[in-house]
Every structure is written in C-alpha cells, then in structure tokens.
Amino acid sequence: MEKFTVTILGCGSAKPTLIHNPSSQLITIGGKAFLVDCGEGTQHQLMRYRCNTTRLRHIFISHLHGDHIYGLPGLVSTMGLQHHDAEIVVHLPEAGIPLLQPLMEYSAHDLNLRFEPYEHRRAIIYEDKTIEVETLPLVHSLPCCGFIFREKPKPRHIIREAIDRYEVPICRIAGIKLGNDYTLPDGRVIANDELTSAPSPSRAYAYVSDTLPLKAVAHAVKGIDLLYHEATHPSSRASSSKATCHSTAAQAAQIASLAEVKRLLIGHYSSALKGDDINGLLEEARAVFPATIASQEGMTIEI
Amino acid sequence: MEKFTVTILGCGSAKPTLIHNPSSQLITIGGKAFLVDCGEGTQHQLMRYRCNTTRLRHIFISHLHGDHIYGLPGLVSTMGLQHHDAEIVVHLPEAGIPLLQPLMEYSAHDLNLRFEPYEHRRAIIYEDKTIEVETLPLVHSLPCCGFIFREKPKPRHIIREAIDRYEVPICRIAGIKLGNDYTLPDGRVIANDELTSAPSPSRAYAYVSDTLPLKAVAHAVKGIDLLYHEATHPSSRASSSKATCHSTAAQAAQIASLAEVKRLLIGHYSSALKGDDINGLLEEARAVFPATIASQEGMTIEI
C-alpha cells in the first residue's frame, strides 16, 4: 500500500515563540506531496526535516491569518530558485489573492504559479485519479476552511490463481478490478468475488484549524483515519478560547469522540503554553478520547 | 557615552540554509533601535537574542530581493499584536510599496505603518537630534542602497572647574557646549577651549549589502568606525560573484583598506559555504585587512 503521511512542520499559533513554528503540514500520498498552510519559516522546516518537495504541486491555505500564510513568499521564491517547472497551485480564500499575489509573483517570476480561490462551503477543490481534497467550512474570526484528504475507492485485488484457472485475458483485468464479473467463452459467468478480494481501504485525513468546536465537523469527518483538530487552549482558558474562536483540547477530543475517528492529532498551541503544558493538553484530550497524539515539529504520522 | 551597537540577526544570502538566517541587523544608538533589512524569520531572531524593539520606529530595506524583505509581514504583524502605538516607518525602494503594502497593512491593521520610498542616490533619509541615516547607492542585480548611520557632531564637554572659576551662569552653558566663548561682566573674553574639552567622537556605521565592490563606497565610508560589507563568496568564486553582482571577501577587505575604516564586518554568506568555509573567508579578508570580523547570528558589536 502506498504511504500516506502527515509531517508536522509547525504547530504553534499566532504569536511567535521559540518553541513552535507557526502552522504548516506536509501531506504525502504515494509520491504526491501537498502542503497545508504555510507559516513563516515553513521553507526552513521543510529543509530541516529533509522533506521531499519535488512533487509538491498544490498548497492549501485554510485562512488568511499571518501564522498560516507568511511563509508563502519565501517558499515559492526558493522553489523558483530550484527551477521547478511544473505549475504550482495555491488554493486560498479569494481575499488572499490581492494580498499575496503581488509579492509571490514578484518573488517567483520563474515559477508557474496559479492562485485558485475556493469558497466557504463544502466542495471538492482538488482531485486526481486517486485522491480528492474537500473543503470543510469552519467558524473562526475570519473565513476559514479545513481540508479533508481522501483516497478514492481503490481497485479490487486480483486473485491470481483464479485468473489463471479461468484463463482470463489481460484486456479484461482492469474491468474485473473495478468489480465486473467475467463470462467464459462457454457462457458461464464467474462472479467477481471469485476472481478478486476486497480492495485496500481508502484512507482519509482531515485538517481542522482554526475553529470553534463544531458538530458539523464531527459529522463531516465521521470514522476518518486521522483527524487533526486545533486545540489552542486548555479547558481552563475556555472562555478566552471561545472569544478568539478557538477550541480547547477537551473540545477537540469531544469532536473526535462524536465522529468516532480512529485517531486524533492536536496542535495550534497557544504561545502561553510551555513545554510541559502540552502534556497537560494531551492528558485533557486523552481523558475524553484516548487515541490522541500531540503534534510536535518534525513528527511524521503514517495513516 | 551612549551605546552604539550592531546585532547580527541574519548573515546568510538568498538560498536558505539551516546554518544562517537571511539578512537582518538591529542597530541601537542610545535608546533608539533601527532595523536594516528583514529576511524571513527576523522576528524569531529578535526574540531569540532578546532584542529590545520597543523603541524600534524605522526599518531600512536595502533592496527588494526576498532574503531582505520576507520577514516584514510577520514582524509588523507581531508588533501590531504587541500594541505598538508609535508610527513605524519602512524606508524602501518605491517598487516595493505595491508588493509589500497590501500584505503588511492587512497584517498590521492596528499598527500605524508608513512606507517612505527613497531614491537610488546619496541622500539623508532619516535624521533626528543626534543621528542621521544616509543612503549609499550600490550596484547589484536590481536597485540597491547601503545605509550610513552617523552620530551628529556632539556638544563639547564642560570643564566644571573653569565654569565654577568664572561663575558662568547656567543659561550660557548650552551655547558654550556648542563652542561659544564666554564674556565676563568686566568685558574679558574667555576662549571656549579654556571652558570645554573636545566632544566625544561622533561614531558611524555603514551597511553595504548587496553589491559589486565599488570605489565610490570606499570614498563614502572613509575612516568610518565599522563597515559591514557583503562578502558572499571566496575569491575562488570571483567570476560567479561578479556575474551575480556580489563581492568576494578579498574585495570587501580591499574596500575597507582603501577607505581606511577602523573595522570591517563581513557577511551575506553564500549557501554553498559551510561552517569552516567562513573561516576561509575571514582569513582571505584578514590577509588584506587585518581588522576584519566575520558576522554570525546573535553577535553584537559595539562601536
């Protein structure tokens, strides 16, 4: 099965600290790479963790707060210096285009850069043969969307022995992988499940930052393999968390629990939290949803 | 005497590395702070080296290459979060305004931000009671200016004993500090140099990055206390240095020698240089101009 990984490049929040970098994650699925958010210093983090970005083509920006976008000019400039010749697409709220396009296009004049605005609603904004990315509207102090990365349904696995037994010609294999039955020259029909076994599961990852806790999110990410949900504050700061349209660790865990996801990843830590406080956040989340992981820079999670 | 210091926040060049940050320096003179260039991550460097930026009001941008400007949006955003209420002035080539203003004003909507374009010629672009900053045209692949920070001539030091002996009234002291003689009630004239001693020297610092080596620079910085001159490459890469409009370490040292400056500070190291190679650059420069210092992040040089 192809690797599907999430690498944490930054899990801090708006106010910069020396402990955390601002938000950014690299998602790799098979050989493809996708960047989600791009806080200041993201290009250095990609270098620090030896991330391969030669196949990075799509960058998804959740919203226009600086801690999610300030790394974009530097990143595309360096990609330009590296002579990337493929088109690089930046998916972002439309309001970001006049802010970012002048500096980014100036910075990366060698790069084939395209800005693709998306709206604040659920929609598939990227798809290829095997993957789709869907926006997930969130509620923050300005328009913000999460992203769900999903593998499309995969072909069924051929049972080699059965294929040989019935002398199935190669030209039929693709259809059989998609679920077709096979009709023998004598008219007998061999049911697909005699020829194939179930396909590998289609995995999915949801990135949910920054937001108030929302039941709609739990509904949208039902049963997902890995949910990243922001957990900016501990419950002890619930009122300031609400006032700034963020979530507490317990709230993130409640969403994970309601959605019955397989694992929860928390991050987007407030600058007021020190190293040990992150353990407190993790305990708080695990009390509600045991399968919780606390983000840290450089961590790669396999899905 | 008030402190006059230069703190190196970044001394790398265009291609990012994990060893150096891109260009930025904090100049403090007395209680005032000035930032020169602002590569990506500058706000983190200011935090890392515990620099006091509460009195930072003026930012000088030498040119519009990304490694000198990408830290601006994050820096002003954080200054906005810190509720700076004084006006912050960004001095930059006019072409930078449409590139940077949209993102910076959006980022720092709480901040009183002003963009002050300067031209590619020698001119005083900032002055207050005690300091002036002059642009110094350089030759790079796009319009670029260095900056000379100069203390204005200082008042002469009062000789307390002479002031007491001639019973000089307080209202005359300011004039005497400026060099006036003093006339006694009986008409006798006391020469100023009987009442005062020479003022403290007026110090000066020149920031010269990025450029081909120029005799005009040596002329402009004649006898200066500290010259920062870019030294992107070793002499072994002189031709590529020339092709990219940069200087070698030996060339920087030749300018320092020609200008008879007191000390030379080199930086803007090519990403191709590793840790030990910087020692090579330093040796190369010192062979020509012994009083050379190699920049490193976090270093503070007192003038």
Task: Give yes or no for a contact between B120 and B146, defined as CB atoms under 8 angstroms apart.
Answer: no
Rg, C-alpha atoms of chain B: 22
Query: What pLDDT was estimated at residue A204?
Result: 98
User: Any chain B CB within 8 A of the CB of A66?
Assistant: yes
A contacts of B15 (beta carbons < 8 Å): 78, 81
Q: Is the dihedral of CA B157, B160, B165, B170 positive or negative?
A: positive
A contacts of B76 (beta carbons < 8 Å): none
User: Any chain A CB within 8 A of the CB of B86?
Assistant: no
- Concerning whether B128 is annotated as a catalytic residue, the answer is no
Separation CA B123–CA A134 (nearest Å) = 54
Q: What was the ipTM of the complex prediction? A: 0.89
Separation CA B60–CA B51 (nearest Å) = 17
Query: What pLDDT was estimated at residue A283?
Result: 97
Continuous H helices in chain B: 42-48, 72-81, 96-107, 160-165, 173-177, 192-195, 215-220, 238-243, 249-259, 275-288
A contacts of B106 (beta carbons < 8 Å): 64, 99
Query: What pLDDT was estimated at residue B249?
Result: 97
Cα A23 to the center of its chain, rounded Å: 12
Query: What pLDDT was estimated at residue B109?
Result: 79
Flag whether the pTM goes above 0.90: yes
Separation CA B41–CA B70 (nearest Å) = 8
Residue A176 has pLDDT above 90, yes or no: yes
A contacts of B100 (beta carbons < 8 Å): 103
Separation CA A176–CA A166 (nearest Å) = 13
Residue A49 has pLDDT above 80, yes or no: yes
Burial A208-238 (b: 16+ CB within 10 A, else e): bbbbbbbeebbebbeebbbbbbbbbbbbebe
Cβ contacts from A onto B, under 8 A? 73
Burial A19-48 (b: 16+ CB within 10 A, else e): ebbbbbbbbbbeebbbbbbbbbbbbbbbee
Query: What pLDDT was estimated at residue A132?
Result: 98
To the nearest whole Å, the CA of A219 is away from the closest chain B CA by: 33
pLDDT interval class at A80 (50, 70, 90): confident
pLDDT interval class at A109 (50, 70, 90): confident
Beta strands A123-127 and A131-137 are: antiparallel
Query: What pLDDT was estimated at residue A275?
Result: 73
Mean pLDDT of all residues belonging to chain A:
95
Q: What is the CB-side half-sphere exposure of residue B178 using CA atoms within 13 A?
A: 6
Query: What pLDDT was estimated at residue A108?
Result: 85
Q: Report in angstroms the alpha-carbon separations of A287 from A194, A227, A257.
A: 46, 17, 11
Separation CA B251–CA B229 (nearest Å) = 9
- Residues of chain B whose pLDDT is less than 70? none
Average of per-residue pLDDT across A196-216: 96
Task: Give yes or no for a contact between A195 and A162, defined as CB atoms under 8 angstroms apart.
Answer: yes
Separation CA A181–CA A203 (nearest Å) = 26
Q: Report in angstroms the alpha-carbon separations of A200 from A9, A30, A282.
A: 29, 14, 31
For chain A, give me the number of helices (H) and strands (E)? 10, 18
Of B78, B81, B99, which has the smallest distance from its Cβ to A103's Cβ?
B99
Average of per-residue pLDDT across A80-101: 91
Task: Give yes or no for a contact between A190 and A181, defined as CB atoms under 8 angstroms apart.
Answer: yes
DSSP letter, residue B67: G
User: Does the distance separating the beta carbons of A77 and B66 come in below 8 Å?
Assistant: yes
Task: Give yes or no for a contact between A23 and A68, defined as CB atoms under 8 angstroms apart.
Answer: yes
Q: Report in angstroms the alpha-carbon separations of A70 from A40, A172, A196, B215, B255.
A: 5, 51, 49, 38, 37
Average of per-residue pLDDT across A41-63: 95
Tokens of A192: 């697909």
In this structure, which amino acid lies at residue A10? G
To the nearest 10 degrees (0 to 180), the angle between helices B249-259 and B275-288 is 30
Average of per-residue pLDDT across A254-259: 98
Q: Is residue A9 classed as helix, strand or coil in its secondary structure?
A: strand
Which residues have C-beta within 8 Å of that of residue B44, sequence separation ≥ 6? A16, A18, A40, A41
Average of per-residue pLDDT across A121-125: 98
* % of chain A surpassing 90 pLDDT: 90
Average of per-residue pLDDT across A64-92: 92
Question: Could you tell me which chain A residue has the CA closest to the CA of B96?
Answer: A103
pLDDT tens digits, A284-299: 999 999 999 999 999 9
User: Does the distance separating the beta carbons of A106 and B78 come in below 8 Å?
Assistant: no
Place of tokens 């983000």: A295
Task: Give yes or no for a contact between A34 and A60, defined as CB atoms under 8 angstroms apart.
Answer: yes
Of B48, B66, B99, which has the smallest distance from its Cβ to A102's Cβ?
B99
Separation CA A24–CA B302 (nearest Å) = 38
